Amino acid sequence: MPLAHEVVEALAIDNGVCIRPVGLRRMDLKTGISDIINAPCGATLEAKCPPCAKRNRALRKAQCREGWHLTAEPAITPDEPNDYQRHLVEWRADAQALRDQCEAAGLPTDDYDQAIAELDVEINAAGVRGNVLGRTTSKRSRSTRRRQDAPDLPKRAMTATTLGRTYESPDGRSYRPSMFITLTLDTYGRVNAGVPVDPASYDYVRAARDALHFSKLIDRFVQNLRRVAGYDVQYFATVEMQKRLAPHLHMAMRGSMSRADIRAVAAATYHQVWWPSCDTVRFDGGHLPVWDEKAGYLDPDSGEILPTWDEALDQLDANPDAQPLHVVRFGRQVDAQGILSGTPDADQAIRYLSKYLTKSLGQAADSQAARDHAARLAEVLRYEPCTPTCPNWLRYGVQPKDAKPGMIPGRCRGKAHRPEHLGYGGRRVLVSRKWSNKTLTEHKADRRTWVLEALGVTDEPADIGRYVWSPVKAGDPDLPPIRVRLLRSIRERLRWRAHMNQLQAAADGLDLSATAGRAA
């Protein structure tokens, strides 16, 4: 006999109810009433349960479809900031000033840093894009600027449009074709059904480094694509793992180019990683650099101070014979297909683009050989530095950027090292800024408004600043047990569904095809 809790969970999944809801305490400043709201886990976009993943996938499909064959420039004029947003930014400015005063006085700034981080999250949650401080990367750009050569590609004059060309057929109909592009990485050794034929000669280090820097390669590809296309190319792309565990990219591109041009761009695109060498292991196991409050990390035997991140980069700059740590390129397999809007091909490509979004990057291996392959890659990734701040730099005798005590090589918590990420720590879905008129939040709002309208409920205008939200701690006596919460949500959903069915029946009777189409 099935266990009761399994039945509850299965029922929740069948009804599209989040099975891992996050409890949030909502304090209503108007009424003084505080209650607990079940937020679906998928609200964070990193859905952890099947119903939320499915819902997010549907949203992504809508977003992909909306922008692909756009016929007019998307309007992306941001709204004027509202009072609450202004208030938050002022508050943020005060916190920054206090923090800087503390720092100048040599006092600890931890509390302010924490408050600032929380404010930044709140500012984004209030509907402000980006970061208040803008990009906070260091000004250092010497070593990369000097050596990232421009690829050998034709450069066309840029026109200020994000739309592709329109073609006229002899019978006077116009077409606006777009492209569906698939890019893969190079080979690291022969594979059979995703598993290396000869694991000993398979180049795991190159596979690991390619995956770690794959996002950068995508950025460069887009830059080059725009240069050759001669307009502001927009894209919706997803990253997924091939069976051999190398990331690859599916990209819906607005507008079209010849396949030969796309091939040429892919072939000419590369990214050089100008990082210190990490080919010689200097510290390992129990023999690790030691922390000194003043100097940072020291050699445990000689007491010599290890070069800091900036010093290591300076050494690299000073050496005329220096080579990049790594160069990432695409493999030879480039697939580019012309797609017309509203055709079965377009539907199929959109399904394909969103196919893997409900699954994690690293899939369960189906054989012992595949598991061994994944384990070997994960072991190499464990010690590859993922970013300048990665503790793994200590293994190669360099102090990580922003070094602090307690860093241990092989124990970096960065996403890229995790077995389910396999070196790719970037986002799964990459959408250019002028893809459509809407952000994902706005797509969500669309659906919400429609459902509320259908139910005959008026959407309350967002009463900004009315509620204060805080996380509910595990064991809070006000938080009902998870199964009780699931049963309530299921009941709610069933009631909602019954109501929708009634509306549907009424709509069918009236032949409101527009409504029915949207409901489907």
**Both structure tokens of 345:** 């091909």
Closest CB to Zn ion among residues 41, 179: 41
Closest CB to Zn ion among residues 256, 489: 489
Q: Least distance from C-beta 204 to Zn ion, angstroms?
A: 17
* Nearest alpha carbon to residue 428 among 97, 38, 53: 53
Closest CB to Zn ion among residues 236, 424: 424
Q: Least distance from C-beta 193 to Zn ion, angstroms?
A: 31
**Both structure tokens of 427:** 């986002």
Closest CB to Zn ion among residues 42, 196: 42
> Under a CB-based contact definition with an 8 Å cutoff, are residues 297 and 408 in contact?
no
Residue 105 CB contacts under 8 Å (≥ 6 apart), including other chains: none
Closest CB to Zn ion among residues 264, 416: 416
Helix, strand, coil tally for the chain in percent (to 5): 40, 15, 45
**Both structure tokens of 380:** 């190499």
Q: Least distance from C-beta 293 to Zn ion, angstroms?
A: 24
Closest CB to Zn ion among residues 23, 42: 42
**Both structure tokens of 198:** 């000869």
* Nearest alpha carbon to residue 435 among 252, 192, 259: 252
Q: Least distance from C-beta 389 to Zn ion, angstroms?
A: 8
**Both structure tokens of 8:** 């509850």
Closest CB to Zn ion among residues 191, 412: 412
Residue type, 186: D
Q: Least distance from C-beta 413 to Zn ion, angstroms?
A: 8
Q: Least distance from C-beta 381 to Zn ion, angstroms?
A: 9
User: What is the rounded distance in angstroms from the CA atom of residue 357 to the CA atom of residue 429?
Assistant: 8
Q: Least distance from C-beta 212 to Zn ion, angstroms?
A: 9
Closest CB to Zn ion among residues 259, 493: 493
Q: Least distance from C-beta 388 to Zn ion, angstroms?
A: 10
Q: Least distance from C-beta 488 to Zn ion, angstroms?
A: 15
Closest CB to Zn ion among residues 176, 326: 326
| CB-based burial, 14-30: b 16+ in 10 Å, e otherwise | ebbbbbbbbbbbbeeee
Q: Is 166 helix (H, G, I), strand (E, B) or coil?
A: coil
Closest CB to Zn ion among residues 40, 423: 40
Q: Which H/E stretch holds residue 93?
A: helix 83-104
> Under a CB-based contact definition with an 8 Å cutoff, are residues 304 and 298 in contact?
yes
Residue 350 CB contacts under 8 Å (≥ 6 apart), including other chains: 61, 64, 65, 68, 252
Residues that bind Zn ion (CB under 5 A): 18, 20, 40-42, 49, 52, 386, 390, 412, 414
User: What is the rounded distance in angstroms from the CA atom of residue 307 to the CA atom of residue 315?
Assistant: 9
Q: Which H/E stretch holds residue 57?
A: helix 50-68
User: What is the rounded distance in angstroms from the CA atom of residue 23 to the CA atom of residue 35?
Assistant: 10
Q: Least distance from C-beta 42 to Zn ion, angstroms?
A: 5
